Amino acid sequence: MHYQHRYHAGNFADVFKHVLLIGLLDALNAKPAPWAFLDTHAGAGRYRWDDEALARTGEVEGGARRMLAAEGLTGWLARYASRVRDDPFMLPGSPAIADTMRRQDDRLMLCENAPAVVETLRAEMRGPGIAVHQRDGYGAWALLPPAEKRGLVLVDPAFEARDELDQMLTFARQAVGRFAHGIYAFWYPVKSQHSVDRFARRLAQQVGRDVLDARLHIEAPRDGRMCGCGLAILNPPWAFAQALPDALRALQAVLAQDRGAAHHIEHHTP
């Protein structure tokens, strides 16, 4: 599977990830102390609505376009739609979402390994408090702990390698060893229910911490295609966990493709 950000910007999985990202950063902003955001696979930061890559897949129609057309959105979903609506030419990636939510003393650490993408990322994400690192995202644990001692780490790889889930687990062990109290969010696609369940359980076991696993399915599984996605979260803020069920329910209502759509929240212990 190849999940390069440029081709899938604004699709249902992007919407899911960014809505939950807003919820996590909102929880960090509830306290005055500054925080740091580490994005291990940052991509280009923003993506043009008229990019031929978006037209080629057409996936944005079932994601960001639906959110913009939806009525009565509240909470995290309304704020996501507002951020997308703010720029008629560019779709926000995770770095841009985080940038809109950071305060004066909050920091962004953005990692990307592809030279051409790094060039775009540096052009799109500039200013005080933003650092772009050209490096393998799985080595970004070396940037931890942040000086702020508070923060969120988003791990959102392109899933180009067969052992991507194993690499995420290795990163988790290394990162948590340096920054035990940070919030960690691991995004993953859903194609095989077995591999997904096994990943969340292994994550809890290998880092010795509870895992909050949130999943959204937009359709019934078929033909080995991606029918959903999830976010496995370490150290989730209490307020985030309380608001999560309503957010997932609303996302399912907007993004569902057929009657097989569903959402799940599971808790895994070490």
Q: What pLDDT shows up at residue 6?
A: 73
Q: What pLDDT shows up at residue 1?
A: 46
> Which residue, 181, 211, 183, is CA-closest to 196?
211
Task: Report residue 239 as tokens.
Answer: 């307020």
Whole-number Å distance between alpha carbons of 95 and 117: 13
pLDDT by residue for the chain (270 residues), tens digit each?
444 677 789 999 999 999 999 999 999 999 999 999 999 999 999 999 998 888 888 899 999 999 999 999 999 999 999 999 999 999 999 999 999 999 999 999 999 999 999 999 999 999 999 999 999 999 999 999 999 999 999 999 989 888 999 999 999 999 999 999 999 999 999 986 666 678 889 999 999 999 999 999 999 887 778 899 999 999 999 999 999 999 999 999 999 999 999 999 999 999
Measured in degrees and rounded to the nearest 5, phi and psi for residue 8 equal -120, 10
Contact 183, 30 (CB under 8 A): no
Average pLDDT value over all residues in the chain = 94
CB atoms within 10 A of CB 221: 15
Cα 268 from chain centroid?
20
- Assess whether 86 carries a catalytic annotation: no
Instruction: Find all residues with CB under 8 Å of 138, minimum gap 6, and list them.
Output: 40, 157, 167, 168, 170, 171
Q: What distances in angstroms separate CA 141 from CA 46, 122, 203, 210, one per listed residue?
A: 24, 21, 16, 20
How far is it between the farthest Cα atoms of the chain?
Answer: 48
pLDDT tens figures, 20-63: 999 999 999 999 999 999 999 999 999 999 988 888 888 999 99
What domains, with CATH codes, occur in the chain?
5-268 (3.40.50.150)
User: Which is the catalytic residue, given 39, 106, 156, 213?
Assistant: 156
Q: What distances in angstroms separate CA 13 from CA 19, 60, 171, one per listed residue?
A: 10, 10, 22
**Which value, to the nearest 10 degrees, does the dihedral of the CA atoms of residues 81, 98, 213, 143 take?**
170
pTM: 0.96
Whole-number Å distance between alpha carbons of 128 and 105: 9
Whole-number Å distance between alpha carbons of 104 and 123: 20
Contact 112, 42 (CB under 8 A): yes
